[in-house]
Amino acid sequence: MTIRSQLLKGILDGCVLAVIEKEPVYGYELSRKLQNIGLADVSEGTIYPVLLRLQKNKLITGEMKPSESGPNRKYYSLTPAGKEALIVISEEWNQLSIPINALLTKGVDSNESK
């Protein structure tokens, strides 16, 4: 497993919740949206286990709806618990990403850490 895939695995739930927060989506559409923002390694095979886990944890719900082009599709929406989880994930991400970005892009002076 590459470093990139390990990092992505750690934050993928938050990414999925963030996309679903904007509007209900079905699995393939969700995968495409994530790929379009630059997460090219997120395939449908990666998305469906995440969706199942989030649904099992009651962070999202799924509803079958008719499709204009083919069989019905399961559209996913955030639950109130999912909205709360997204807030927590976003806060945690900010608390981690800001200092890590500073460290990796600028380095850290040993006197600054005291």
pLDDT confidence of residue 5: 80
At 40 the pLDDT is 86
CA–CA separation, 92 and 26 (whole Å): 27
Residue 67 has pLDDT above 50, yes or no: yes
Q: Output 28-34 pairs: Cβ under 8 A, ≥24 positions apart.
A: 30/76
Q: pLDDT category, 114, cuts 50, 70, 90?
A: very low
Measured over the CA atoms of residue 57, residue 59, residue 65 and residue 70, the dihedral's sign is: negative
Lowest mean pLDDT: which of 1-5, 24-28, 62-66? 1-5
- Whole-structure pTM value: 0.85
Q: Tell whether the model's pLDDT for residue 64 goes beyond 70.
A: yes
Per-residue pLDDT at 109: 62
